[in-house]
Copies of this chain bind each other. A is one copy, B any other.
Amino acid sequence: MTAKNTNKLKILNDPIYGFITIPNELIFDLIEHPYFQRLRRVSQMGLSYMVYPGAHHTRFLHAIGAMYLMQKAVRVLRFKNVNISRDEEEAVYIAILLHDIGHGAFSHALEHSIVSGISHEEISLKFMESLNVEFNGKLSLAIEIFKGNYHRKFLHQLISSQLDMDRLDYLKRDSFYTGVSEGNINSERLIVMLNVKDEELVVEEKGIYSVEKFIIARRLMYWQVYLHKTGIVAENILVKILKRAKELAFTGIELKTSTALNYFLYKDINSSNFDDETLSIFSQLDDYDILSAIKEWTNNEDKVLSRLSRMLVDRRLMRIEIQNESFSTKKISQIENEVKLRYNLNDEELGYFFIHDTISNQAYNSVKNQIHILYKNGELKETAAASDQLNLQALSTPVVKHFICYPKGEF
């Protein structure tokens, strides 16, 4: 790593971990960069604050928190005699710091409406490559690790796997800020249990119960937080708003928006035409563009757009029904008819006010990115197989639920 310039050494206060030290000057400069500062304006949990009013934390602190855990992981692994060079150390810090930099505002909604066909991981990579040019190639190794091309697999697995520092931070952080304390995981203990075997990340035998508990906590967070029914309604309304806006934009109607949002509404952006200019404008797009526009649209002439926008701004959300079985076509057409009649909607408009979809959750994926347990005798076992009681195999079956949304009360 580069020599320390103490003028630039900074300590950050994190409500969760206390003091976080920025490890060196390059990382300090990356954090100071406008690309990264944008993350201060991108909420980590989108509209979840409508359910959990404490959850206004941003991707900025999550990224730094994940880097903090990575510092712990490096210390633990070196203590266990895993050799990690200074360059690898810096690269893995950069990679985790920037792993989410491509997240748009209300990412999941955005990816289903206006920035479709390109994932946030791809955009993260574009940002990293742009920064690599600006910082004279100093991010090259970080990019190799991020892409999974580096020969020491565990470095990539620390960034992206079922026990990566990303998850260890966001589960803990989201649990903390929502107040759903049962989702709280013991990141410190899980990291203490990590080790490396044949360049792969593994968990030591005595960590098996902690891994089980981590998987159960993750599942609980999914059903109680990430897939909370009120949150699903809010997110689906947001998708519908943006779709409607884009539709109106394509018919040439002028909508009040920020310059950055305007670009993405009136242009058809996908992975093939996402160029440097697009990246530059994307770097200016954050939660404020989206919510400000929606606030303006509450008074838009288009009734679909204004009604949906008002729902979100005043938190007068739709009703939602969720069930394990799919809804019968009979029930669906019955409600569709009621909604059309009651709110005087045509078929096209109905598509915005009757939502019918599924959600799913897979607590643990025993096929992709398995978590391996290292036994004292050197043997490796996949977690689901290692657990003596807990049927993790069952947990690795995705659970699918069906839902419908439609307005309640007055429009």
A177 proximal to B (CB < 8 A): yes
> 8 Å CB contacts to B: which residues of A183-227?
184, 186, 188-189, 192, 209-210, 212-213, 216-217, 219-220, 223-224
Distance, CA A287 to CA B223, complexed state (A): 31
A209 touches B213 (CB 8 A): no
Which chain B residues lie closer than 8 Å to A34 at the CB level? 313-314
| CB-CB nearest in chain B for A81 | B6
> 8 Å CB contacts to B: which residues of A160-198?
176-182, 184, 186, 188-189, 192
Which chain B residues lie closer than 8 Å to A259 at the CB level? 256, 296, 299
B390 touches A397 (CB 8 A): no
B54 touches A179 (CB 8 A): no
The number of chain A residues touching the other chain, given as a range, is: 35 or more
| A179 CB contact (under 8 Å) in B14, B192, B389, B391 | B14
Oligomer: number of copies: 4
A13 touches B213 (CB 8 A): no
Distance, CA A210 to CA B315, complexed state (A): 28
Cβ distance A374 to chain B, nearest Cβ, rounded Å: 16
Cβ distance A17 to chain B, nearest Cβ, rounded Å: 8
B58 touches A57 (CB 8 A): no
B219 touches A389 (CB 8 A): yes
Which chain B residues lie closer than 8 Å to A324 at the CB level? 388
A182 touches B178 (CB 8 A): no
List 4 extra interface pairs beyond A18-B181, A53-B58, CB under 8 A.
A15-B177, A56-B57, A182-B209, A209-B223
